[in-house]
Structure 1
Amino acid sequence: MSTVEIPRVKVTPEVMFGSQRKRVGLMGGTFNPIHNGHLVVAEQVASQLGLDKVVFLPDNLPPHVDHKETISAKDRVNMVRLGIADNENFELNTMEIDRGGVSYTYDTVKELKQRHPEADYYFILGGDMVEYLPKWNKIEQLAKMVKFVGVKRTGAKMQSQYPILWVDVPTIDISSTLIRSKVKQGCSIKYLVPDLVAEYIKKEGLYRERT
């Protein structure tokens, strides 16, 4: 039986920097699973804003009203690790999972800035999420700690009471919900997720109908 080797690179308990100031993108989410849409957004934002790296932050418990069909943190982390393995400018940080409880962006950014005051952080948001910013925990304080980056999406309102850096990214209509549905229906997810992620999902039997 073939096995999926989980890379041991690009994984840091915290973001490590030298003395020079860095521009760091932050991409939070459940990543259930990570897909090519996430990766395209991260790469495009990093390129257009000249970021030194983009850090993927899988959450432990998202502070949303709706409850997602979330699998174990271990599997989600492993898939992020596999998905970003071929990009030297992408990193994985598990601090939200390690911290436990509900994952609030304010707590995460506060901790990162305490560890690395020399870094400027750019929090990447889908255009549809920008309108929800007023509902975020301690949003007024958070808005002073990071620069929000909005990814333009069809139908999303490009307006906010908070400063937003808007970035043009090719529209790729892929979602984690779509991936889970495809797997459950026995359909192919090739080209929707990285090959190693597809292989991991198949090997571990993720998202299949429970019998």
Structure 2
Amino acid sequence: MAEQGKKVGILGGTFNPPHAGHLLIAEGVRDACGLDEIRFMPNAVPPHKAGTGDADAPQRLRMTELAIGTNPDFAIERIEIDAGGISYTSRTMDILKEKEPETEFYFIIGGDSVDHLGQWYDIDGLMKKVSFIGVGRPGSRGITQYPVRMVDVPQIDLSSTEIRRRLSEGRSVRYLLPDPVISFIRKEGLYGSGKTES
């Protein structure tokens, strides 16, 4: 059970795999907005990315746990993974607010998501349930008619798609991913990286 009045940032995503960019965003927002905790929330099957990649939900969850393991201000939110199926942020926030009525929730999104916020499911209802924090991303404008607090955090032009491509080509991903995540990917043979026993 969360403490009363706790400020919690939710960073949702596929985390396929979780990378240095995700960690930079989470820590930057936590610091800039004075949040008590950032929860990484892996999606089960996000509507716009269903069927992408070759890491299943338990593997993405485990990689995210490994990525955040050394930061006491980071935690995992399993709600969408445990529910399975397609995830809609509005429904997820209903459940979280019912479970933790005293917690102030903040939903963290990249500038590309800010640009398309009007297309989100039940966006008007969602705006009444959670405050949005936006972070700039290379190539996005970060402009919307909805109230979003834009936060300046260090930007790196990095995507999970690019990392999967590098892994499939046998190229280095050192410093792009936390070392425990790299070890897990190699052990599981994900993204065409080839399975290893080490």
TM-score after normalising by structure 2: 0.94
Q: Which ranges in structure 2 are unaligned for 5 or more consecutive residues?
A: none
Q: How far does the alpha carbon of each residue in 1:119-167 deviate from its partner, in whole angstroms, 9 at most, with x for none?
A: 1111000001112111111110001111111102343223211101000
Do the aligned residues in 1 keep the contact of 2:109 with 2:134 (CA within 8 Å)? yes
Provide the residue aligned with 1:53 in structure 2.
37
Q: Secondary structure at the match of 2:190?
A: coil
Pick aligned residue for 1:189 from 150, 167, 173: 173
Q: Could you say which residue in structure 1 is the equivalent of 2:91?
A: 107
2:6 aligned residue: 22
Query: Counterparts of 1:44-193 in structure 2 under 5 Å?
Result: 44-64=28-48, 67-193=51-177
Q: 1:128 to 1:114 in 2, by over 3 A?
A: same
Cα distance in 2 for residues equivalent to 1:66 and 1:184: 20
Q: CA deviation at 1:209?
A: 7.0
Deviation >4 Å, runs of 4+: none
Per-residue deviation, 1:204? 0.8
Matched with 1:11 is none
2-structure distance, mates of 1:154, 1:74:
30
Supply the distance in 1 between the matched residues of 2:146 and 2:42 (Cα, whole angstroms): 24
Cα RMSD (Å): 1.4
Which structure carries more helix by proportion? 2
- Structure-1 residue corresponding to 2:27: 43
**Aligned partners of 2:12 and 2:43 also within 8 Å:** yes
Report the identity percentage: 47
With structure 1 as the length reference, what TM-score do the two structures score? 0.88
1:67: Cα distance to partner?
A: 4.6
Q: 1:192 & 1:180 partners in 2: Cα distance?
A: 11
Distance 2:54 2:113 in 1: 19
Shift of 1:17: 1.2
